[in-house]
C-alpha cells in the first residue's frame, strides 16, 4: 500500500513538473508577443495551441483566467477544420484596457 501511494505521488509530481514547464513556456511567449504587439499599436492577439491535448488546453485556460483578472478580455475556444481536426485558440484583447 505504501509503495502504491509513493508511486502515485511521484507520478503526480512528474505531471505537475511537465504542466508548469509548459505553462512557463506559454506565458513567456504570450507575454513577449503581447508586449511586441502593444508596442506597435495592436489591440488583439490570437495564440494557436499547436498540440491541442488536454494539458495544453488547461494551461491556456489558466493563462486566460489570470489575464482576465488583470483586465484583459480572454477566452479559449476551438474551431473544427474541414478535415475534422480541432484547433484550439487563446484569444486576447486589450482594446478597452
Beta strands in 1-97 (DSSP E): 44-49, 73-80, 86-93
pLDDT at 14 over 70: yes
- CA-based radius of gyration for the chain: 17
CA distances from 61 to 1, 11, 51, 83 (A): 35, 23, 14, 25
State pTM to two decimals: 0.85
The enclosing H or E element of 59 equals helix 54-69
> What pLDDT, in 10s, does the model give residues 23-74?
999 999 999 999 999 899 899 999 998 877 899 999 999 999 999 999 899 9
Amino acid at each position: 500500500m505504501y509503495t502504491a501511494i509513493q508511486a502515485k505521488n511521484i507520478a503526480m509530481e512528474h505531471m505537475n513538473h511537465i504542466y508548469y514547464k509548459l505553462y512557463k513556456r506559454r506565458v513567456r511567449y504570450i507575454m513577449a508577443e503581447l508586449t511586441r504587439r502593444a508596442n506597435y499599436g495592436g489591440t488583439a492577439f490570437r495564440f494557436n495551441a499547436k498540440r491541442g491535448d488536454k494539458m495544453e488546453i488547461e494551461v491556456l485556460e489558466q493563462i486566460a483566467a489570470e489575464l482576465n483578472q488583470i483586465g484583459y478580455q480572454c477566452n479559449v475556444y476551438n474551431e473544427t477544420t474541414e478535415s475534422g481536426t480541432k484547433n484550439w485558440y487563446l484569444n486576447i484583447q486589450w482594446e478597452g484596457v
